Amino acid sequence: MKHIVFHIDFISPYAYLAFEQLPQALEGITHSVEYRPLLFAGLLDANGQLGPAEIAPKREWTYRQVLWQAHQQGIEMAMPAAHPFNPLALLRLALACGQDGAVNRHVCETIFRHVWRGGADATDAARLDALKQQLFKDKPDALDPAGDEVKGLLRRQTDAAVRQGLFGVPTAVVDGRHFWGFDALPMLRACLHGDPWFEGPAWEAARHIPTGIARARPPRS
């Protein structure tokens, strides 16, 4: 049985789409999935990047593309009232309901759909409180989302992802291989099915292609 670690941040529309599509992508494959929330902004900072929603023309395209992809795949989706937003409360709530940084699918689904269905404000205080009460009904031993234990766990989890070489979400990790993005689900499925391409030279050769030119990274504002 293959074990998949699925790294997510609820701010990402691509993470939402991949989460919704993952059961179909893994259909017929014996597997287990471990969902691990992290702070996407931490990955961006570590790699000197801006997020798609921080680049004005790319922002518009991203929103059009994800809504099209949802339409094409039959996934219910609506943009939240404002995006990007601060996802810390959602990430900490998920980890408060988890175990050692891993969160079950029900909790992830509830939070993703809080954000990406209905078009409401993902960080509205009343909605966040209702979401917390909904999740805590099934988790009476949940940690305090605002407590130091949960805050430290999120930092450590994000730092660990940076050390592993993650740069974006969603990223599925299996057997040391990273599969980034919603559009990587067919590639992940092929790998789990034992496609011989993954045992050929192409996977490792990618890391040894010389860099022809390197531009200076602009400072993040």
Question: Does residue 168 have a pLDDT over 80?
Answer: yes
Kindly list the structural domains of the chain, giving each domain's residue range(s) and its CATH number in brackets, ordered by start.
Answer: 2-208 (3.40.30.10)
pLDDT at residue 138, rounded to an integer? 86
Q: Which of 17, 56, 1, 5 is nearest to 174 (CA)?
A: 5
- Which is it for strands 31-37 and 2-8: parallel, antiparallel or unpaired? parallel
Task: State the angle between helix axes of 125-137 and 105-116 in degrees (0 to 180), rounded to the nearest 10.
Answer: 160
What is the mean pLDDT of the segment spanning 77-98?
98
Proportion of the chain above pLDDT 70, given as a percent: 98
Give bridge partners of residue 32 from the DSSP assignment: 3
Mean confidence (pLDDT) of the chain: 96
Is the bond into 145 cis (omega within 30 degrees of 0)? no
Q: How far apart are CA 171 and CA 184, in angstroms?
A: 9
What is the mean pLDDT of the segment spanning 85-106?
98
pTM of the predicted model as reported, rounded to 2 decimal places: 0.96
What is the mean pLDDT of the segment spanning 61-76?
98
pLDDT at residue 221, rounded to an integer? 55
The tokens of 82 are what?
A: 């404002």
